[in-house]
Structure 1
């Protein structure tokens, strides 16, 4: 494989969007936090976004995840100094087997339709290429990707990414099951037990996760997904399945999406990660884990439980979750430019 610089061809310089578009641009600083958080809330409400950005994620826009990601930002200010747009480019430095940059942007609804989206995406694409080469080196032979996930109903944004050279790689269905309050968990298969999350050392569950998600379409990201899930984890609703030897055979890491509670006015639990070891599949452990999470959430008075699933995967997971009572709500599309 040729070097990263040759494949990515980063531009020598990448200017901010032009002043003719009406906004003044500069990097994001800490004091912008309240205005940026307010902008994001307004944008996500107007767009009816599936997932809502948390305060922790806004903080990550200023310093990267846990302060370690390579990052660049741009905010657009109107003539009165109000924040009307924000864009980020973040290199996942925790991922070393692949050079991954994630781009994201929020533009106030009344500023759309003026070319800001195209101009920001041009800036993000150029900066992503520059930052990936900076992080991994010009001669690195690791594969590279510039990525984002877009709600499928946001058709204008999807057209923008397609026009920018991104390709739809995967579709993720967001599924929900309503909780009545009287649910009970089905028994685990013979010889297996399902125990609360806190009863198993977390490093043993993480080792199982890393093994399970080696089969995922993007295994290089499994460590990042684990850290994100642990950040959201609610131990009341999370469980581990143990095999007859007492070793972890499966797990369900379930979170409490507090920002979505506030946005939608109803309580829910959300399965951040679920996995069953290869040699333990086909025996109902997924059903036992989900059932335990549903029962626990019901006891907490939660009104529904959700998850997302790769509908293009080869595991037939979507059909399994339908059988467990989950119904498609909406969906998201994973876009990337890969080199």
Structure 2
């Protein structure tokens, strides 16, 4: 089978596509014949050795896939060869076959494309867990989404609306904000041309926002924190700008608000039953059309490096998909 290998830490250009032996499942594991694998920002960190977890070389990056089960290992129940599934391997996805622990495999509903399945878990799963379990977002509350035109940001807009929130989307260009409005944002802020804190105050009549969803970090985290309402919740999702902000903690005291960390990978491991509950709800919403991952570009497996470069350089809006020969048609 063909697989994209990382043999040493470096930029995406250092990745190689090679023929490697076909896989056999270990106990408690399934092998997925990959159709689609989503590219995510953590993939760019993993291959450069900047992520909190590291793999021995050589390894295959790629954290979420959709495909059909090729084989199942000892002790696996509820799955059989041929099942359409979504898998969250963490590593190993940019290949024609991916090994995934059965505990991190969920069924892909009939009628849902492989591309949509591959685009679901890391963005929508993270956001669903963040808004529902970490922020306890309530109908009628106001949600501010930073970096709102990226894949993660768009998932926050969609899920915020499904959960009954008023959503304010913040992004760096008017073109990106138009995408946000098309995905359901009620209000928008161009933080390249508008003062973020002042605009928050204007849009909330001085009250502030109940929840901030921040996957970017950098210079806009502090004004967003200053724009929080009493009892607000600031969700720390990630730092795609590369800059981890140093926030003045006296603001949490003055506003009675909370800084809430969101580590979806650890949640999957520590609370597997709850993880499955949330995934069942999320895949149901996907099948019903209540959410619709925006896939803006598809790359063949041999162009994985180009997908990661586009992601790293923030040229992407929505989700990027890498496909194998099986997934050429996206279905």
- Larger fraction in helix: 1
Give the structure-1-normalised TM-score.
0.29
